[in-house]
């Protein structure tokens, strides 16, 4: 049995997905170069192979691995998604995405599915109703990551500004409560989805940088709204007040006027961010 190593902080890249008045949502991801490096180290360059093919217009990558030359290759495959950047590299990005997704099916980097919601404390500026990073050239890096070796779930994470060495995000996995249970189950739940990056959330008035999540991988908006209603009731029962909910809405959107039950599909990420923060607060099932 081939056991692929857990990703180190040097293996993981950080991308700013969305920017709001109060900070930025960030995602962890791996590159196809990292996947190839891990395959070389784990099985040897001569013991893995890959090819591409199309099915109904979708580009698939198939990777075969074996432990040594005496064995047959075992194959797995997955499809990619074209880049939305419109820079002329859409097909190249689709091939790279298919390769990364396929490597995730083999188990490489699957621990990224257990990433927490990364809401980074960074300075932002508003221009024409949209928010941007105050330093558009800032680069963010993972400076520390730890795992539960048995479950391969992330238990600690720190992210810093590479230019200034200022810490913008620090997190430890709770050991009790609903959020701990949810995070432990994240990897198994997302095995079926197999996107190359974990699903995450953000706030209102955002500038989308990029995303590879298909709508079929998301929890339906109506379900999120229903869950939020139940969690707000739990909060009111526990504290005889929903003041904390208003604070969460303000932290995500910048004010308290946002209404989840009136949200549209375009505001999905905002609702998801509020949903996540309520779970982190211990109001989930």
Residue 164 in this model has a pLDDT that exceeds 70: yes
Q: List Cα–Cα distances, 86 to 22, 82, 83, 89, in angstroms.
A: 28, 9, 7, 7
Average pLDDT over residues 92-114: 94
Per DSSP, what are the bridge partners of residue 132?
Answer: 125
Average pLDDT over residues 32-59: 95
Lowest mean pLDDT among 38-47, 80-89, 237-246, 259-268: 80-89
The pLDDT confidence band at residue 200, using thresholds 50, 70 and 90, is very low
Token readout for 245 is 């909910």
The pLDDT confidence band at residue 183, using thresholds 50, 70 and 90, is low
Nearest CA among 176, 172, 141, 174 for reference residue 157: 172
The pLDDT confidence band at residue 173, using thresholds 50, 70 and 90, is confident
| Overall pTM surpassing 0.75 (yes/no) | no
Average pLDDT over residues 166-188: 71
The pLDDT confidence band at residue 269, using thresholds 50, 70 and 90, is confident
Per DSSP, what are the bridge partners of residue 167?
Answer: 160
Helix, strand, or coil here: 172?
strand
Lowest mean pLDDT among 62-66, 208-212, 279-283: 208-212
Where is pLDDT greater, at 197 or 140?
A: 140
Q: E strands within the chain?
A: 13-20, 23-29, 48-55, 58-65, 74-79, 118-120, 124-127, 130-133, 140-148, 153-161, 167-172
pLDDT value for 176:
63
Please give the Cα distance from 37 to 40 (Å, whole number).
5
Asked if 171 contacts 157 with a C-beta cutoff of 8 angstroms, the reply is: yes
């Amino acid at each position: 049995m081939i056991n692929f190593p857990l990703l180190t902080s040097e293996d993981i890249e950080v991308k700013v997905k969305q920017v709001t008045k109060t900070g930025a949502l960030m995602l962890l991801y791996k590159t196809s170069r990292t996947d190839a490096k891990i395959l070389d180290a784990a099985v040897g360059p001569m013991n893995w192979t890959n090819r591409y093919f199309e099915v109904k217009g979708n580009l698939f990558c198939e990777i075969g691995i074996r432990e040594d030359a005496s064995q047959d290759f075992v194959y797995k495959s997955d499809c990619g998604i074209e880049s939305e950047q419109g820079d002329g590299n859409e097909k190249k990005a689709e091939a790279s995405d298919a390769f990364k997704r396929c490597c995730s099916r083999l188990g490489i980097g699957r621990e990224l599915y257990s990433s927490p919601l990364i809401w980074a404390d960074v300075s932002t500026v508003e221009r024409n109703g949209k928010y941007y990073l105050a330093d558009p050239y800032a680069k963010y890096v993972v400076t520390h990551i730890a795992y539960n070796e048995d479950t391969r779930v992330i238990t600690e994470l720190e992210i810093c500004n590479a230019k200034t060495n200022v810490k913008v995000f620090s997190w430890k996995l709770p050991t009790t409560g609903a959020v701990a249970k949810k995070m432990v189950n994240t990897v198994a739940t997302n095995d079926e989805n197999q996107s190359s990056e974990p699903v995450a959330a953000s706030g209102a008035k955002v500038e989308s940088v990029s995303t590879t999540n298909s709508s079929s991988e998301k929890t339906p908006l109506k379900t999120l709204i229903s869950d939020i209603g139940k969690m707000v009731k739990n909060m009111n029962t526990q504290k005889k007040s929903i003041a904390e909910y208003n604070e969460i809405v303000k932290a995500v959107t910048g004010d308290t006027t946002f209404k989840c039950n009136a949200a549209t599909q375009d505001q999905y990420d905002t609702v998801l961010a509020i949903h996540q923060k309520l779970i982190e607060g211990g109001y989930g099932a």
